[in-house]
Amino acid sequence: MTVADKKETAMQRPSLPVIALIGTGGTIAATADTRTQLSNYTVTEPVNALLHAVPQISAVASIRTQQAFNVDSREITSTMLLRLARSVRRTLAQPDIDGVVITHGTDTLEETAYFLSLVVRSEKPVVLVGAMRPASAISADGPLNLLNAVLVAASPGARGLGVVVTLNDEIHAARYVSKTNTTRVDAFSSGQQGALGTIHNGIVQFDQLPVRGWPLAVSPEEGFDLTGLRQLPRVDILYDHQDAGRHLYEASIKAGVQGMVVAACGNGGLTPRASLGLRMAAKHGIVCVRASRTGSGMVSCAPDDSRYNWVAANSLNPQKARLLLMLSLTRTTDCRTIQAWFDHR
Ligand code: ASP
Q: For ligand 1, is residue 110 a contact (CB within 6 Å)? A: no
Contact partners, residue 329, CB within 8 Å, separation at least 6: 233, 235, 258, 259, 287
Distance 105 CA to ligand 1 centre (A): 4
CA distance 53 to 37: 19
Q: Do domains 16-217 and 234-344 have the same CATH topology?
A: yes
Q: Which of 112, 176, 191, 192 is nearest to 345 (CA)?
A: 176
Distance 261 CA to ligand 1 centre (A): 24
234-344 in CATH: which number?
A: 3.40.50.40
Among 71, 72, 102, the mutation site with the greatest number of ligand 1 atoms within 8 A of its Cβ is 72
Q: For ligand 1, is residue 27 a contact (CB within 6 Å)? A: yes
Contact partners, residue 322, CB within 8 Å, separation at least 6: 235, 236, 237, 259, 261, 289
Going from N- to C-terminal start, the domains of the chain cover 16-217, 234-344
Atom index in ligand 1 nearest the CA of residue 74 equals 4
Among 24, 37, 45, 73, the mutation site with the greatest number of ligand 1 atoms within 8 A of its Cβ is 73
What does each of the 345 residues of the chain score in pLDDT, given as a tens digit?
444 444 544 455 569 999 999 999 999 999 999 999 999 999 999 999 999 999 999 999 999 999 999 999 999 999 999 999 999 999 999 999 999 999 999 999 999 999 999 999 899 999 999 999 999 999 999 999 999 999 999 999 999 999 999 999 999 999 999 999 999 999 999 999 999 999 999 999 999 998 865 544 445 455 688 888 999 999 999 999 999 999 999 999 999 999 999 999 999 999 999 999 999 999 999 999 999 999 999 999 999 999 999 999 999 999 999 999 999 999 999 999 999 999 987
Atom index in ligand 1 nearest the CA of residue 30 equals 7
Q: For ligand 1, is residue 72 a contact (CB within 6 Å)? A: yes
Q: What is the pLDDT of residue 227?
A: 87
CA distance 312 to 23: 35
User: Residue 280: which H helix or E strand, with range?
Assistant: helix 272-283
Among 106, 128, 133, 183, the mutation site with the greatest number of ligand 1 atoms within 8 A of its Cβ is 106
Strands 163-167 and 126-129: parallel
Is the CATH code 3.40.50.300 the one for domain 16-217? no
Q: What is the pLDDT of residue 213?
A: 57
Contact partners, residue 151, CB within 8 Å, separation at least 6: 60, 199, 202, 204
Q: What is the pLDDT of residue 223?
A: 64
Distance 72 CA to ligand 1 centre (A): 6
CA distance 279 to 309: 9
Q: What is the pLDDT of residue 211?
A: 80
Q: Is 46 left (phi over 0), alpha (psi -120 to 50) or beta?
A: beta
CA distance 43 to 49: 12
Q: For ligand 1, is residue 106 a contact (CB within 6 Å)? A: yes
CA distance 299 to 343: 10
Q: Give pTM, 2 decimals.
A: 0.94
Q: For ligand 1, is residue 105 a contact (CB within 6 Å)? A: yes
SS3 228: coil
Q: For ligand 1, is residue 142 a contact (CB within 6 Å)? A: no
DSSP letters spanning 90-152: HHHHSTT--EEEEE--STTHHHHHHHHHHH---SS-EEEE--SS-TTSTT-SHHHHHHHHHHH
Q: How far apart are the first and last CA of the chain?
A: 56
27 flagged as catalytic: yes
DSSP letter (8 states) at residue 223:
S
